Structure 1
Amino acid sequence: MKSTTRGQLARAGAAIAVAVAGMPTAALAEGVGADILIPKPAEFIPALIAFLIIWIVLAKLVWPQVLSMMDKRQEKIQEDLDAAEKSRLDAAESAKSYEQKIVEAHQQADEIISKAKKEAEEERSAILAKAQKEAADVIAKAHGAVDSERHKAMIELSGSVVDLSVEIATKIIGNDLTEDQQRKLAEKYLAEVSAPNGD
């Protein structure tokens, strides 16, 4: 890069030297016809020497600094471009990472919601099963209590009916039957009456 730029500058300097050497300085002031285009040797050689001295001084002192500054500027621009590219790649990678984290967060949220729904459904099923079991136990106890009370009432009613029947039979039949015979007769009658009803 440096050699190419220096070569271009050297060619440009040579072209300028030829152009300056070819310019008639004094002829312009005199305004003479064809002499304007042809430089006088007395003016041409000092101008050429002055130009070459200036060109050598510039080439030795100024151009290296200019080229160095241009090289540094180019390096700085390249570093900035590299840093910008690296920042862009880092930003793209960070964005990709954040997108991945967002996807994972959505998946975790879906899993939590699904798990909560499943647990709620299991809890609901357990509560319903417990309630149904308790209701069945209450109904079974109620049936047992009703059956027990019915049986007890039937026993009491049977005893009352038997006693009442014995008393009525004694009054109607008289004292011909013993109390045990009357009781057996009443129990037999009561059994016959209650048999068709299934009690």
Structure 2
Amino acid sequence: MSEPLSDSEQDSPPAIRQVMPAGTHHFRDALARVPAAVVVVATDGPFGLGGFTATAFTSVSDDPPTILVCLNRKSSQTEIFHQNGIFSVNMLAAGDEAIANDFAGFTKLPAPERFKSAAWLKGPTGAPMLERARVSLDCRLADFKSVATHNVLFGEVQAIRIQDATPDRPEILLYHDRHYRKI
């Protein structure tokens, strides 16, 4: 059984930095402390092949299965994703940092060239699915909304591909405090 807190311990607030206005810099610093799965979002179709790395990805609903992912409005790929109307979300495994960097644009490869560093499958919608992804979601674009600096792509999931952990790839890739991590 633990000891009760002393009067001074009960009155002590937790150590925090001062409360700051929610400007862009402080907001980014705050959210950098929230671990997020690293995903590559990919599309193919009449408007071309495209892909980007994201951490702004989450589920919306399970009936029908729906997710959302955010893409910067300044991205040259915005129109490709909007017009193709299909995309996949591919959760990376630890060790896939090079793929994440290619699709994040850090290596300056043009969008179609980014696909050459890994093997891809076609999902039922025709969207490219990363063969080595731990989880791939094949989606039809259900809605597309511009919000502030980003476009929010809502995808109705049409098919799911899951790969179990393997001895050489047991963990997923996360982004936390501006560094890749694994869990």
TM-score (norm 2): 0.18
More helix by share: 1
Considering only CA atoms, is the larger Rg found in Structure 1 or Structure 2? 1
More strand by share: 2
Instruction: Using CA pairs under 8 Å that are at least 6 residues apart, name the structure with larger relative contact order, 1 or 2.
Output: 2
TM-score (norm 1): 0.17
